[in-house]
Homo-oligomer: A and B are copies of this chain.
Amino acid sequence: MARARLRDLGIKLGRLPTGPLNAITDVAGVEVGHSTLIRDTPAVVRTGVTMIWPHRDIFSDYCFAGFHSFNGNGEMTGTTWLAEQGLLSAPIGITCTHCVGVVRDAICSYAAGKGIKQAFHLPVVAETHDGWLSDAETFPVTEAMAHEALERAKAGPVAEGSVGGGTGMICHEFKGGIGTSSRVAAEAGERFTVGVLVQANYGARDLLRVDGVPVGREITHDIVPGHRAPFNADGSIIVILATDAPLLPIQCQRLARRATTGLAWAGGIGANGSGDIFLAFSTGNRVKNNAPHADVRMLGAERMTLLFRAAAEATEEAIINALTAAETMTGFQGRTLHALPLDRLQQVMAKYRPAPS
């Protein structure tokens, strides 16, 4: 069966409408690029880089942003600056654990190569570990791959599953990777979009739920032969949330924290070994580098609730989209990781969701 997005399977999550693409790129200006590396010699490698541009002027027109670490057993660079200033000043990278450094420096060198006049950069690069399917100790990601992902980035639909940073990932003991989704929050005559992109590499099988249905209890390892829990089912997930709502840095922190809700709905519990780290940025305000002051808009506190629901729903669906998009993969040491079987998913959903009476 060909891979699909969750909604293509007739399964809807949540109450709020999606944006036209049901992707992080529904937030105007956001662009996503992947660089994927799949090779068997000299080492078996399944890895890559995903880059997210909040907008193309990000090196000079900063966005407000904030992060939350639900479980910090992972790396996200740039967080002390986010905590201090709440400003995002470079594109965001996601890659494998051992390659965070090269990707982080590569964003600096990309800016230098483009003649960006700035003393230094403090980019945000996050990771999840792909060492079960990929020979991570070969440190396969290069500066060129990071630059490629930056250059390839574009608006429009986002490739999901085993691409970019998500190439070698595992989620609820199925093949995981990149997933995306979005929601539209319309209230008081205004419409804001919340878009989410995840690199999903976490979770125990039996905790997986789709719209509350205990999919992971039904599609056990026995049902799909060869499915085995790699490692200790800990893993990690990086969630990037974008919105065009005009938020202040402290509000971006709040929004980032709400990825926890969507992750919990999908079955994440912040297991010990998991690096569950979330970043939210707002394109609704721009702050010029070095401006003496900036006039900015702040969404009223009461109106955050709808954004929080949007963030939770889009995070949940982005995770499931990673699962429905990713294909079965064989990698390092001949290991095979099976994809979530879509027909089984549909059967389980039907079993637990009564027909409207």
Asked if A272 and B212 make an inter-chain contact with CB atoms under 8 angstroms apart, the answer reads no
Roughly how many angstroms separate A206 CA and B78 CA in the complex, as a whole number? 30
Interface 1/0s, chain A 258-286, versus B by CB < 8 A?
10110011001111110101000000000
Interface 1/0s, chain A 190-215, versus B by CB < 8 A?
10000000000000001101011110
Asked if A70 and B257 make an inter-chain contact with CB atoms under 8 angstroms apart, the answer reads yes
Q: In the complex this chain forms, how many copies of it are found?
A: 4
* Segment of A177-185, A294-302, A317-325, A336-344 in the binding face: A294-302
Known A101-B100, A260-B264; judge A73-B84 contact (CB<8 A). yes
A305 to chain B: which residues have CB within 8 Å? 232, 234, 269, 271-273
Residue of B whose beta carbon sits closest to that of A207: B309
Roughly how many angstroms separate A299 CA and B272 CA in the complex, as a whole number? 12
Asked if A300 and B309 make an inter-chain contact with CB atoms under 8 angstroms apart, the answer reads no
User: Does A30 have its Cβ within 8 Å of any Cβ on chain B?
Assistant: no
- A302 → chain B, closest Cβ, in Å? 6
Known A80-B79, A81-B72, A353-B352; judge A248-B86 contact (CB<8 A). yes
Interface 1/0s, chain A 93-118, versus B by CB < 8 A?
00001111111111011001000000
Interface pairs A-B: 5 shortest CB-CB: A212-B212, A72-B84, A101-B101, A72-B80, A264-B264
